[in-house]
Structure 1
Amino acid sequence: MLQDKKALQILLDAYWSSDGWKRGDTIGPADFEYARQAGYMFDPVEMSHDDIVGRLLAVRNRIGIKQVADAFLASLSTRRLELRSALGSFSFSAHFPDHPLVEGSRGPMPSGPLRCRLCGLYSHPIGEQQDLNVLSFERWKWGGVRHLNPLYGWFDLAQFEKANPPDPTQEDYSILARIVEIASGLPPKANPNELEKRIGKVIRSNGSERRVLIEILGLCGVLKPADRCGFLDAFTSDEHRDRPPDHTNDWGYPVIWWQGVDGVNKDAVNRLFPEIGAV
């Protein structure tokens, strides 16, 4: 899909302004229809938990790891954040189990949805309307922020199937090599916040984009905390995604546990990005 700058701007303007998130309806019918026809905005889709699981597994099986790894690389110099996102969603879904909604001990939310203790998805037992537009916005704006959400994973990979990513360039390899070098050389107690600041010197980006990039590197196992693994190696159920007692740490799982002492998982680098594997 070729980028349509007008449609993309309609999508971004629907949710974001210089003051941050917008609330309420901010888009007219004509603009919505233009963005919908261009493939950036969508009508609501009715899906249940089991529908989402089935669609995620189906699209995962149609995509190869090299496709998403190369797209991630190509995003580094081009700032094509929507392409960067796919590696996170593919990693999350790599060992995603086929399962029905498994109700946890928390019971239903006041509004009715149940939280599946296996995948973490909030859902009614029967189908409900799913808003894909906010997911599309987050994908284009930051490279996704809900990579542990099966609905986002399906949507992201389904959109990626329609893309035509450029091939990675030597500049892309160099950028990732520098990120790996920085992550490998941080002090033992450094946390992801320190890494986010440091890599700002080597990649054109803002802080929110760098956070997503780091979380994707955690999902695929490049940044592997001690005693935990990325989703590309094994699926960790929602009920077992533990978090540190430090409530100021708002990173996603598993990179929330990463420290400088963990460094970089060279096996994952060699698997995903063999061109820069000799680090």
Structure 2
Amino acid sequence: MKIPARTKKALKNYSIGIDSHDEDISILIESELYIPPKTMSHDECLRWLDHSLKSTSKKLVTDHFLYGVQNFKPEYRAAFSAFSVASKLPRHTYQGLDVYCKTCGAFETQTIDLTLINCSRYLYGSLRSMTPADLALYLQLDTNLPAPKKFTNERFIVLLSELAISPINETPTSLLKRLSNNKHLNFPKEEIRGLLETLGFTGILQSPLHPGYIYEYTPPFSKSAKTSKSDWRYPIDFWTGTNGINDSAIKFWFSEQQDIMDKI
């Protein structure tokens, strides 16, 4: 079911902190998208994440991702990024050199705006933040989604075909612009950005020195951006057309999808 325009507007207003929160919250509550904030410690968030990760599977998140790509549903695509990061996040206690944990970026104790995290699922379809709470909520809510109806992988295959013809000097920014003009994809620009960052997290778009989370966990804030003006997430920030598509990652995630395997 498509999100009603008033609900999408409420999600956008909430996500950018517009002052009409009372009205927006009422709409989000009515739509069952509002989640009360919760105060949690770093270690509580890690336990929550462990439970959420054990409650899902690679097959579920990849099936949901492909369904979300084909049917313009960011909330179905979102857990793919979270699963790839959470699967490699080392279990640890709080290790704070400053105000946040140097391993996962979480505060020692924090009141977490869970609705704000949920807004990103519906508006961006990928991670905006990589704290354990973000990862846990993405995974937990993904398991509650209605089972996908029968679908094809046509739109994802179009996306792969476009990635495959990237010139060697392609950058994430030029790729975003090119895909935004592709009428066969027809995604909003912000959602394409989320898609590309997900492909970075999952190792499908990566570079040799900056691999995706399929291979290793990279703590938030531990890597500088490619340039001072870059606002892309790691590791796709360092990807260029010369790196192409990582076929090994495609095989790892989508080996059961023969139509996708036939394209690599």
TM over 0.5, yes or no? yes
Partner of 1:243: 225
Question: Following the alignment from structure 2 to structure 1, what is the Cα–Cα distance between the partners of residues 133 and 189?
Answer: 25
Compared CA separation, residues 156 and 221, structure 1 to 2 (3 A)? same
Partner of 2:91: 98
Q: Which amino acid aligns with 2:46?
A: V
Compared CA separation, residues 119 and 153, structure 1 to 2 (3 A)? same
Q: CA deviation at 1:259?
A: 0.4
Q: CA deviation at 1:119?
A: 1.0
Compared CA separation, residues 9 and 254, structure 1 to 2 (3 A)? same
User: Is the 1:74–1:165 Cα contact (8 Å) retained in structure 2?
Assistant: no
Deviations 1:92-135 (A, max 9, x none): 1011111111112xx3xxxxxx11111122x1x3x432111111
Q: CA deviation at 1:266?
A: 0.5
TM-score by length of 2: 0.88
Deviations 1:206-253 (A, max 9, x none): 111000000001111111212222112221123533322x22221001
User: Match of 2:175, SS?
Assistant: helix
Q: CA deviation at 1:169?
A: 2.3
User: Match of 1:96, SS?
Assistant: coil
Compared CA separation, residues 156 and 250, structure 1 to 2 (3 A)? same
- Does residue 43 (structure 1) correspond to residue 36 (structure 2)? The answer is yes
Q: CA deviation at 1:264?
A: 0.3
Partner of 2:128: 146
Percent identity among equivalent residues? 22
Q: CA deviation at 1:136?
A: 1.4
- Does residue 66 (structure 1) correspond to residue 62 (structure 2)? The answer is no
- Does residue 26 (structure 1) correspond to residue 21 (structure 2)? The answer is yes
Partner of 2:188: 206
Q: CA deviation at 1:255?
A: 0.5
Range 228-237 or range 249-258, more displaced: 228-237
Compared CA separation, residues 65 and 168, structure 1 to 2 (3 A)? farther
- Structure 1: tracts of 5 or more residues without a match: 108-113
Question: Following the alignment from structure 1 to structure 2, what is the Cα–Cα distance between the partners of residues 69 and 46?
Answer: 31
Partner of 1:130: 112
The one of 49, 65, 77 equivalent to 2:70 is 77
User: Is the 1:182–1:195 Cα contact (8 Å) retained in structure 2?
Assistant: no
Question: Following the alignment from structure 1 to structure 2, what is the Cα–Cα distance between the partners of residues 65 and 36?
Answer: 30
Q: CA deviation at 1:256?
A: 0.5
Compared CA separation, residues 37 and 101, structure 1 to 2 (3 A)? farther
- Does residue 181 (structure 1) correspond to residue 165 (structure 2)? The answer is no
The one of 106, 116, 140 equivalent to 2:101 is 116
User: Is the 2:201–2:214 Cα contact (8 Å) retained in structure 1?
Assistant: yes
User: Match of 1:90, SS?
Assistant: helix
Q: Aligned pair count?
A: 258
Question: Following the alignment from structure 2 to structure 1, what is the Cα–Cα distance between the partners of residues 44 and 162?
Answer: 41
Compared CA separation, residues 50 and 37, structure 1 to 2 (3 A)? farther
Partner of 1:111: none
Question: Following the alignment from structure 2 to structure 1, what is the Cα–Cα distance between the partners of residues 155 and 129?
Answer: 23
Deviations 1:51-110 (A, max 9, x none): 111111221122111111111111112111001101001011011111111112xx3xxx
Q: CA deviation at 1:33?
A: 5.5
Compared CA separation, residues 79 and 5, structure 1 to 2 (3 A)? closer
Question: Following the alignment from structure 1 to structure 2, what is the Cα–Cα distance between the partners of residues 135 and 12?
Answer: 16
**Which aligned pairs between 1:217-256 and structure 2 lie closer than 5 A?**
217-238=199-220, 240-244=222-226, 246-256=227-237
User: Match of 1:16, SS?
Assistant: helix
Q: CA deviation at 1:205?
A: 1.0
Deviations 1:192-215 (A, max 9, x none): 112212223131211110000000
User: Is the 1:82–1:143 Cα contact (8 Å) retained in structure 2?
Assistant: yes
Compared CA separation, residues 207 and 84, structure 1 to 2 (3 A)? same
- Does residue 190 (structure 1) correspond to residue 170 (structure 2)? The answer is yes
- Structure 2: tracts of 5 or more residues without a match: none
Compared CA separation, residues 147 and 269, structure 1 to 2 (3 A)? farther
Partner of 1:110: none
